Amino acid sequence: MSFDDIITRLTDGPNIGLWIRTIGGVCPCQADGTMDGHPFYFRARHGMWTLDACKKGRDPLDEIDIVFQRSGDDPDNGYMPEAAAAKIIFECWCDFQRRTEMPGEETK
């Protein structure tokens, strides 16, 4: 399956793997959705991107109960194309899938 095929499947629903509810904008480029039901927020601006995921039923913008975080360089300085953001989010989801244990959860 190609990355383009994966992108077309990212909006299948909030409880099935990776679901990107919204993505887009400039300065910042933002996205939100769920990773296996855990809400996430993605933001790219000022030369860096961040992704935070929190416990189910919480809001990652509250910065409470964050269970997964990633960050990296944004060479587009907030003008990140949606496809580039989606690829980063997908890569973060792959890391999220490889986690061994999250606070308050049994090991998968």
Among 24-33, 53-62, 91-100, which is the least confidently predicted range?
Answer: 91-100
- 61 DSSP assignment: G
pLDDT at 63: 83
pLDDT at 81: 94
In this prediction the pTM is 0.81
Classified as helix, coil or strand, 37 is coil
User: Which band of pLDDT confidence, cut at 50, 70 and 90, is reported for residue 33?
Assistant: very high
For the chain, domain boundaries: 3-94
